[in-house]
Amino acid sequence: MKTNYKIWLTFLAGTSLAGCADQEIDNIYVEKPASIAQYEYLNSYGNLKDYLSQRTGINPYFKLGVGVSAADYNKFGQVYRITNANFHQITAGNAMKYASIVGDDGSMDFSTVTAFVDAASKAGVEVYGHTLCWHEQQNVKYLNSLIADKELDIDPNEKLEVEDAIHEFKNDSKFPFHVMGFEPEIINGILTADYPGSWYQFFVMDGLSTVPGRTYKVTAKVKGSKAGSMNVQLGNWGALQEKQMEFSEEWSECSVMIDGVTTESSFVVFQPGTYDGKLEIEWVKLSHHESPAVEVESEVTFKTYTDGPFPFFA
């Protein structure tokens, strides 16, 4: 009997100590993290779209929308609840774009989009569809497969004009080049050259980068007080190529083709010579022609960032 009594006292002492330990744990106080506490004031605000509903008389057609990840919204979790509570409309981040739907074989998978639209409709949220065509996020692998065995329809004789330089005299207040005995005037943005009574010439472009052997086109928007012609020189001192340019009494774009250029740095000189009228020039342009470049894209790697978790090591 005494032995049993001692065992019972020992059991009571143990349970008493355990009770004291539990009481001490209940009294532990942990402060709320600052990252949470600093935003608690937001709890005093209502849902965003509710503020607009109170002002429908001012702008009843205004819709508050947001872009969300379709995959996250379809989980019916936090993104789903916050979106529905605060916005009238939603747009899928990527799920509605071409590359997210069209596979490498051209097949189309609308399952994510369908689930997204169904979930939004049941929640009473409008869906604002994405672009039908965009300059990015296309399935290049599939598109290239469509033309892999097709011949490119390109005219081998077709040429594209490439502009090398242009000088517009509207940007000048006075003649901007070296004066060779005669200096034209700049009047209201127009280079104006009145016949000085003897043979004359003047620069119209300088500091040009040219490729030896290339054929160039010199074009000027010009008119004369009467129809006439002038000599056009392209190149550099001691290595000039030239052609005659004809012009009329009306404003027109007049051109000459000059080949045989041998210099890498060139200028353009107009030589009206003995033309005894007034010349007006708005701008002068140097250009050349090239065959159109054909580029065929070759895929090295391809990654589609469809809706879903971040795919790489964080």
pLDDT tier, 19 (very low <50, low <70, confident <90, very high otherwise): very low
- Per-residue pLDDT averaged across 245-271, rounded? 96
Tokens of 202: 């003047």
- Is residue 241 over pLDDT 70? yes
Residue the block writes with tokens 């709890």: 43
pLDDT tier, 204 (very low <50, low <70, confident <90, very high otherwise): very high
Tokens of 69: 């990840």
Tokens of 2: 């005494």
- Is residue 132 over pLDDT 90? no
> Residues with Cβ < 8 Å from 133, sequence gap 6 or more?
98
> Residues with Cβ < 8 Å from 93, sequence gap 6 or more?
67, 68, 69, 70, 307
- Is residue 203 over pLDDT 70? yes
pLDDT tier, 45 (very low <50, low <70, confident <90, very high otherwise): confident
pLDDT at 133: 77
- Is residue 21 over pLDDT 70? no
Interval 209-225: pLDDT, tens: 999 999 999 999 999 99
- Per-residue pLDDT averaged across 156-183, rounded? 91
* Domains of the chain, earliest start first: 48-141 (3.30.750), 160-290 (2.60.120.260)
Give the C-alpha separation, 298 to 196, whole Å: 62
The three-state secondary structure class of 212 is coil
Interval 99-115: pLDDT, tens: 888 998 999 999 999 99
- Per-residue pLDDT averaged across 2-26, rounded? 48
Give the C-alpha separation, 281 to 222, whole Å: 4
Classify residue 299 by burial, with Cβ atoms within 10 Å: 0-12, 13-18, 19+: exposed
Give the C-alpha separation, 229 to 194, whole Å: 14
Where is mean pLDDT largest: 27-31, 86-90, 142-146, 281-285? Answer: 281-285
75 vs 45, which has greater pLDDT? 75
- Is residue 9 over pLDDT 90? no
- Per-residue pLDDT averaged across 138-150, rounded? 85
pLDDT tier, 131 (very low <50, low <70, confident <90, very high otherwise): confident
pLDDT at 77: 94
pLDDT at 67: 92
- Mean pLDDT taken over the chain: 85
pLDDT at 302: 65
pLDDT tier, 38 (very low <50, low <70, confident <90, very high otherwise): confident
Give the C-alpha separation, 88 to 119, whole Å: 14
- Per-residue pLDDT averaged across 277-293, rounded? 91
- Is residue 52 over pLDDT 80? no
pLDDT at 51: 78
pLDDT at 151: 72
CA dihedral 166, 172, 178, 183 (to 10 degrees): 120
Give the C-alpha separation, 156 to 173, whole Å: 45
- Is residue 18 over pLDDT 80? no
